[in-house]
Structure 1
């Protein structure tokens, strides 16, 4: 009888696991090699004045190509890509309708008569220890459409067409029917998502929004 060790001992398993590790490393290397080529054609990638990689679409900064690549596979980047695709498709459809003389559907909200800007107050506070910047915006919408509430959006400098692109800033927008959309230019710093605060008081018709920006670091 052979008492040299148990059947299926650790020696064989170790060799098998080592082989799997080699295959995984080879696959990662192949992925990174292919991704490097893709980076050269990435229209949203730029290197800023600090030498960091910046995603122009999402307003994020990254220290390494690997970090940037990881970001491009994330939900935020993919969601913004889809939003960008829809925006471009809508513009092309409208332009095509005008050229061909066909009727273009109009969003009723966009066709609403505007009554002017809401009242607003902006308060900024900087933490000298962390460098974080907190921005508090209070807006009044006394004549807002019934059963609606104000909406906010953060837009990168490359999404707007009113001013020349400025990578040092992005835009904070507030919209409510039937008021004009108001826009504030804010520093292009990273947003701490879990510190965004919204408060809508429908009886007082007061809307409060607060966000905290932190100095750009690798994400």
Structure 2
């Protein structure tokens, strides 16, 4: 509501009324002192708080030992814990005293403590006791080279392999003979030669026998069971098996 000035007539047009000029008294506000510049607002208080935290952090924190500070190629500082970017050290130090950084530090400490509890000392490896028995010598054996004539006309040549027959009349009851292929670097009897590999046959109480064969890739028995097989005859005590080498074209191109 507009009040007419003293002496003005109500019938006088309002355009001719002169309104009094009022000014705000900044010095006599509540909580203000004369010459103090007035009460600080929220933004000024935040700036002052961050400055105080920065000065306090500079006195107590060594940035060289902070594992989470990272200076990028632009010269800015990054907090690897909170994934925040800061323009200078003061801004980063103020961030380290903030709620977000402190909360993340507490979470990280709790997670590290949990991980430490889950990590237990590894159990000592259980050494398999070596069987001790009296060896009675080497068994009798027969080795026969085999060849697939149907593959002779292929690009890789005829498929070749070996058939081994081992006679074990005194094999221990309940024991089955075993065989495995060994690289030249696994054995300790001869100087390693990359051109050869070894076929080992073992059956208790006989001594293990080894055959030196070319270092060629062996066929998978599941892929060609007709040419790669093994058989143990419990009646005649004879262990027979056959394996084939992969042809050159198969080894190179997987044909």
TM-score w.r.t. the length of structure 2 is 0.42
TM-score w.r.t. the length of structure 1 is 0.49
- The higher relative CO (CA closer than 8 Å, separation ≥ 6) is in 1
Hey, which of these two has a bigger chunk of strand by percent? 1
Which structure has the bigger radius of gyration? 2
